Structure 1
Amino acid sequence: MTEVRRIVVDTDTGIDDAHTLLYLAGRADAEIAAITSVFGNCVEPDAARNIGYVTRLLGLDVPIARGASAPLTGTAHIAGYVHGKDGLGDVGYERPLPDVTGESAAELLVRLGREHPGELDLLALGPLTNLGLALRLDPELFTRYRSVVLMGGSGPYAPPGTLLMVDANINNDPEAAEAVFAAPRRELVMVGVNVTATTILDEVAIGALRAASNARFATEILDAYLDFYQEEWGRRVIPLHDPLAAGILLDPGFATAWMEGPVNVRTNGFMSRARLMRTHDGLPPAFPYRAAPPTKVVTAVDSARFVADFVDVLTRGN
């Protein structure tokens, strides 16, 4: 019998976040236990509205709590140029605010961890501000979750000459991210841009989604995302950033290589990244770094198998 993972999703509900909720809802081995909102792909009120829209679309009745509208320090950077101003590609959906628990996102994360120790997984898809605030309330928070899987980070240091996609979720709140990687935990998994950028929903896969009557919403919101990424690759294709993190939570076999060790948040003066303190060949970096509990860092994935599963789940029944 397939084990069902009960998952709390912390999300800045943009296009790939919405796809992730669709994917989780379509997997027999996943149950969305609660959802919390955070700024990032859009402003926090829009993230909450988008949670409400997707849960109504799916017929999900789960606890929802609203979270941070800005990082622990500094100002919010909103990626409206990627996901549309409203986070769902500015298609024009009616998106009333959902009913919420009345707790902050951080309070909900703490309460659920204490009420269900070892039973829930926490999937973080946006800036880590809510998690950072929750750790202030309960420094042992991550020991109460079965696992914490986050979409963010940049993996180990890449071979010289290699360029990486922006590590947006970490860059949006490096202080919160540093607290997350320093916290005690059962298991913390980092699914970074080093692997998500290689997991591409290509023209064939997008065509399969467009042909499926029950994937209408998934494709209606794609155009803004495709408009952005066509300037990266010259093709109307997209990376499956957040869905890949959900896939690896449910099926670690989607990851074909891992490294484990301390993760630090580093800045070059312009941008912050979360890095495993190892070079691409497993050596320590050439500078001092902070000790931290080990994080499992994904370094390679079976992109083809994951993309096929993602398309199958979102088109199932056609």
Structure 2
Amino acid sequence: MVRSIVVDTDTGIDDAHTLLYLAGRPDAEIVGITSVFGNCTEEDAVRNIGHVTGLLGLDVPIARGAAEPMAGVAHIAGYVHGKDGLGDRGYERPLPEVTGESGAELLVRLARERPGELDLLALGPLTNLGLALRLDPDLFTRYRSVVLMGGSGPYARPGTLLMVDANIDNDPVAARAVFAAPRERLVMVGVNVTAGTILDERAIAALRATDTPTARFATEILESYLDFYQHEWGRRIIPLHDPLAAGVLLDPGFATAAVDGPVNVVGNGFQTRARLMRTHDGLPPSFAYEPAPDTHVITEVDTARFVADFVEVLTS
């Protein structure tokens, strides 16, 4: 079965890899893309969408989305993805042709035109989704599924630290609206599983050894990402955050364990996370929380099988 996918993206390095991955999978069809701030500014995000779709020869509707969160100030991760979001390689990135509607409006229009047929893949801050829910509070019931890269899973085992939940932290207001909204199926692929899904030296070497435009581009934009993550593990390796969310959308078998339950967006005064309201051993937390419809929260993945598939797609 071919899944028709609308992609909402703050087009940084792993977002670009995700578009390459989706375009290379025979069971995926990208039918629309919306831009949002996050890994880079919204303008850079839409320029990067145009660059990647041009490289792939994709002609799909593109709409410009939110340049700032629903409340507060945008935090741009140029120190991770490069100032332009693609590692500052100097690519010519003219503004692509856009539909003229907002990102939120495109998300609503496509869902109403093809109810029950489309999947929505959200790879950045959830601002466009939050704004779209203001236009259509039942929006998620019109998508076959909504899969997002964000969140932190259940509460971790005591003493365990997690990577920053950047997409949620960048717009907690929008995230709260997303997790409270009625839905057909909402899947959270959070940093609890993406941070351990590693493209290691061997996999990166396989990409570098492949002389195709897609593989060359995928490796060219890696350097900024590797420069950042080498300070996490002392090795020039990266996590496949956004690609894993796409993989789970296309092949739910990549997820080997999941829990259904309410998700709340909670802060500690420094940063905000989306949490399944369960402890690591499946118990409710020891404080009151807001009721919410069930979200399908991924808790374990077959990382070896996914990474092998990702490399095969980008090198074939």
Aligned to 1:240: 240
Paired residues for 1:68-217 under 5 Å: 68-214=66-212, 215-217=215-217
The CA distance in 2 between the partners of 1:94 and 1:148, in whole Å, is 32
2:50 pairs, out of 36, 49, 52, with 52
Q: Distance in 1 between matches of 2:72 and 2:156?
A: 29
Instruction: Please state whether the residue corresponding to 2:228 is helix, strand or coil.
Output: helix
Report what 1:255 is aligned to.
255
Deviation at 1:80, TM superposition (A): 0.1
Distance in 2 (CA, whole Å) between partners of 1:115 and 1:185 is 17
Q: CA deviation at 1:23?
A: 0.1
Q: CA-to-partner distance for each residue in 1:1-32, whole Å, 9 max, x for gaps?
A: xx000000000000000000000000000000
Q: TM-score, normalised by structure 2?
A: 0.99
Q: Could you tell me how far apart the structure 2 residues matched to 1:58 and 1:213 are?
A: 15
SS of 1:236 mapped into structure 2: coil
Task: Give the letter for the 1:35 counterpart.
Answer: I
Distance, in Å, in 1 between the alignment partners of 2:257 and 2:196 is 14
Q: Which amino acid aligns with 2:252?
A: P
Q: How far is 1:224 from its partner?
A: 0.1
Letter of the 1:277 counterpart: M
User: 1:244-283 counterparts in 2 under 5 A?
Assistant: 244-283=244-283
The answer to whether structure 1 residue 40 and structure 2 residue 38 are counterparts is yes
State the match for 1:301 in structure 2: 301
Secondary structure in structure 2 of the residue aligned to 1:213: coil
Cα distance in 1 for partners of 2:111, 2:281 equals 36
For residues 212 and 97 of structure 1, the distance between their equivalents in structure 2, rounded to whole angstroms, comes to 29
CA distance in 2 between counterparts of 1:121 and 1:194 reads 23
1:203: Cα distance to partner? 0.1
- Structure 1 runs not aligned, ≥5 long: none
Q: Following superposition of structure 1 onto structure 2, how do residues 12-31 of structure 1 map, counting pairs within 5 Å?
A: 12-31=10-29
How many Å apart are 1:146 and its aligned residue?
0.3
- State how far apart, in whole Å, the 2-side matches of 1:63 and 1:295 are: 29
Q: Secondary structure at the match of 1:297?
A: strand
- C-alpha distance in structure 2 between counterparts of 1:88 and 1:97, whole Å: 15
How far 1:247 sits from its partner (Å)? 0.1
How far, CA to CA, are the matches of 1:212 and 1:254 in structure 2?
25
1:262 CA drift (Å): 0.3
Matched residue, 1:312: 312
Q: Taking structure 1 as the reference length, what is the TM-score of the superposition?
A: 0.99
Amino acid at match of 1:255: A
Give the SS at the match of 2:207: helix
Instruction: State the secondary structure of the residue aligned to 1:157.
Output: coil
After the TM superposition, which segments of 4 or more aligned residues of structure 1 sit over 4 Å from their partners?
none
- Give 1:221 deviation, angstroms: 0.1
Q: Determine the structure 2 residue equivalent to 1:291.
A: 291
Superposition deviation, residue 255 in structure 1: 0.3
Deviation, structure 1 residue 71: 0.2
- Cα RMSD over matched residues? 0.2
For residue 87 of structure 1, report the CA deviation from its aligned partner. Answer: 0.1
1:291 aligned counterpart, secondary structure: coil
Give the 3-state SS of the residue equivalent to 1:274 in structure 2. strand
One-letter amino acid of the counterpart of residue 264, structure 1? N
Task: After TM superposition, give the deviation of residue 225 of structure 1 in Å.
Answer: 0.1
Percent identity (aligned): 82
Number of residue pairs the alignment of both structures matches: 314
Kindly state the Cα deviation for residue 295 of structure 1 after the two structures are TM-superposed: 0.1
Cα distance in 1 for partners of 2:233, 2:123 equals: 24
Q: C-alpha displacement at 1:157, in angstroms?
A: 0.2
Q: Secondary structure at the match of 1:269?
A: coil
